[in-house]
Structure 1
């Protein structure tokens, strides 16, 4: 089964990204000098952004090619701001229920 066989109508909601963490032990990180730690953190941020940009571009190219071949039709989701506004109180209530308000705030602070 191919991607376009599952859903020939694709809504471009921008609701998900692929996360590819870089991980190693805290003991290893703490053995690094402050300059090396800063370098690792900055490289991780830059690498994460590059990865998201590359993946997003590749997705767009593949979707465009499939649409031009008549295999699917894409639809821009134009009410994302309204969706986020309506979801905000639900997310806040759930985060409070879990005792994770600070986690939600950290997530929402990421661009």
Structure 2
């Protein structure tokens, strides 16, 4: 298993990852609904219907791109936080014992 997969499996932020995935699903559903609305507008016909359909399809593509970008950004932040905690744990285990300060 590679380092990132292991880091994600042992994440200290599973709730954040779950919330991000929930909003990704909501975003995908929203993009799908906008695309379907574009199809309905295209079937309506006419110049205005086709223009509205193209604008809705572009909007759906933008929503889809923003959802994917947001997911990557939030999961990257969680990965960075988990990596810092992993490194801090490794450094704390390698520290020498504290010197006697009772003098």
Q: Give the TM-score normalised by structure 2.
A: 0.43
Q: Which structure shows the bigger proportion of residues in helix conformation? A: 2
Flag the structure with larger Rg.
2
Q: Which structure shows the bigger proportion of residues in strand conformation? A: 1
